[in-house]
Chain A
Amino acid sequence: MTEPLIYDFTSPGRCGVTLPEPDVPLAEGLPSDLLRDADALDLPEVSQLDVVRHYLRLSQMNYAIDKGLYPLGSCTMKYNPRLNEDTARLPGFAGSHPLQDPNTVQGNLALMYELQDWLKEIGGFAGVSLQPAAGAHGEFTGILMMRAYHLDRGDTKRTKILIPNSAHGTNPASTTMSGLKVVELPSDARGNIDLEALRQACDDTVVGLMITNPNTLGLFEEHIEQVVKLVHDCGGLVYGDGANMNAMVGIARPGDLGFDVMHYNLHKTFSTPHGGGGPGSGPVGVSARLVDFLPDPVVDIVEEGRDDEPPLYGFVKPRKTIGRMKAFQGQFGMHVRAYTYMRVHGASGLRANSEMAVLNANYLLSKIRHAYHLPYDRVCKHEFVVEGHWADSTVHALDISKRLMDYNFHPPTNYFPLIVKEALMIEPTETESKETLDAFADALLQIADEAHRDPEVLKSAPHSAPISRLDEVSAARQLVLCCRPIPEWAES
Chain B
Amino acid sequence: MSYLPHTDADRAAMLASVGVKGIEDLFADVPARVRFPKLDLPGPLSELEVMQELTELAESNASAGQFACFLGAGAYNHFSPSIVNHTILRGEFLTGYTPYQPEVSQGTLQTIYEYQSMICALTGMEVSNASHYDGATSLAEAVIMAVSHFKDTRRKVVVSPAVHPQYRAVIRTYVQGMGLTVTGDEEPDTDIADLTKMLDGDTAIFIVQSPNFFGQIEDPAGLAHTVHSAGNDALLCVMCDPISLGILKPPGQYGADIVVGEGQSLGIPLSYGGPYLGFFATRKSLVRQMAGRLVGEAHDAQGRRGFVLTLATREQHIKRERATSNICTNSGLVAIAATVYLATMGKNGMRKVAELCYHKSHYAAQEIAKLAGYRVRTDKPFFKEFAVQCPIPVAEINAHLFDEHGIIGGYDLGQDYAHLDGHMLLAVTEMNTREEIDGLVAALGELSGD
Contacts and interface: CB of A to CB of B under 8 A. Distances in A.
Contacts of B262: 327
A147 to B, nearest CB: 6
A205 interface: no
A293 B113 CA distance: 39
Given A144-B173, A276-B105, A175 B321 contact: yes
Interface string B55-82: 1111111111110010101110101010
Contacts of B272: 93, 96-98, 105, 108, 328-329, 332-333
B97 A134 contact: no
Contacts of A3: 106, 110
A77 B91 CA distance: 13
A446 interface: no
B325 interface: yes
Given A34-B249, A350-B39, A326 B137 contact: yes
Interface stretch (A232-240, A385-393, A462-470): A462-470
Given A15-B346, A349-B2, A471-B299, A490 B125 contact: yes
B359 A176 contact: no
Contact of A91 (B63, B71, B102): B63
A492 B347 CA distance: 26
A154 interface: no
Contacts of B47: 83, 344
Nearest to A27: B362
Contact of A324 (B20, B23, B102, B173): B173
B159 interface: no
B96 A276 contact: yes
B274 to A, nearest CB: 4
B293 to A, nearest CB: 7
A144 B176 contact: yes
Contact of A99 (B73, B105, B298, B358): B73
Interface stretch (B128-136, B197-205, B442-450): B128-136
Contact of B18 (A63, A81, A275, A366): A366
A105 B381 CA distance: 33
Contacts of A52: 83, 87
Interface string B346-378: 111111110110111011001000000000000
Counting chain B CB atoms within 10 Å of each CB, the highest count among A62, A77, A253 belongs to A62
A279 B343 contact: no
A267 B122 CA distance: 31
Interface residues of A, number: 204
B63 A95 contact: yes
A410 B98 CA distance: 12
B3 A81 contact: yes
Given A41-B347, A51-B340, A325-B170, A59 B93 contact: yes
A480 B398 CA distance: 50
Contacts of A397: none
Counting chain B CB atoms within 10 Å of each CB, the highest count among A23, A277, A474 belongs to A277
A277 B99 contact: yes
B178 interface: yes
A99 B272 CA distance: 8
B362 to A, nearest CB: 3
Contact of A17 (B81, B107, B320): B81
B30 A252 contact: yes
B89 A95 contact: no
B343 A51 contact: yes
B145 interface: no
A51 B75 CA distance: 26
Interface in A67-89: 67, 70, 72, 75, 77-81, 83, 85-89
Interface in B7-26: 10-11, 13-15, 17-20, 23, 25-26
B417 interface: no
Contact of B323 (A54, A176, A250): A176
A295 B137 CA distance: 14
B125 A98 contact: no
Given A43-B118, A86-B51, A19 B353 contact: yes
A62 B321 contact: no
A170 B89 CA distance: 29
Interface in A141-170: 144, 147-148, 168-170
A35 interface: yes
A305 interface: no
A486 B178 contact: no
A431 B95 CA distance: 14
Contacts of A22: 355-356, 359-360
Counting chain B CB atoms within 10 Å of each CB, the highest count among A28, A224, A251, A482 belongs to A482
B270 A98 contact: yes
Nearest to B7: A434
A158 B329 CA distance: 29
A34 B220 contact: yes
B411 A173 contact: no
B357 to A, nearest CB: 10
A93 B27 contact: no
Interface in B32-68: 33-45, 47, 50-51, 53-66
A16 B58 contact: no
B421 interface: no
A323 B42 CA distance: 32
Nearest to B356: A22
B288 to A, nearest CB: 10
Contacts of A91: 58, 63, 65-66
B190 interface: no
Counting chain B CB atoms within 10 Å of each CB, the highest count among A52, A250, A465 belongs to A465
Interface in A246-273: 250-253, 256-257, 267, 273
Contact of B274 (A106, A136, A333): A333
Given A24-B437, A34-B217, A62 B114 contact: no
A435 B234 CA distance: 60
23 contacts: A35-B249, A61-B106, A64-B93, A86-B51, A89-B85, A93-B272, A94-B269, A96-B62, A97-B71, A98-B270, A256-B34, A275-B334, A277-B99, A327-B74, A333-B271, A344-B2, A360-B14, A405-B101, A411-B101, A430-B4, A471-B301, A475-B296, A486-B126
Given A104-B402, A108-B272, A327-B170, 5 more contacts: A28-B362, A89-B85, A344-B2, A362-B20, A466-B103
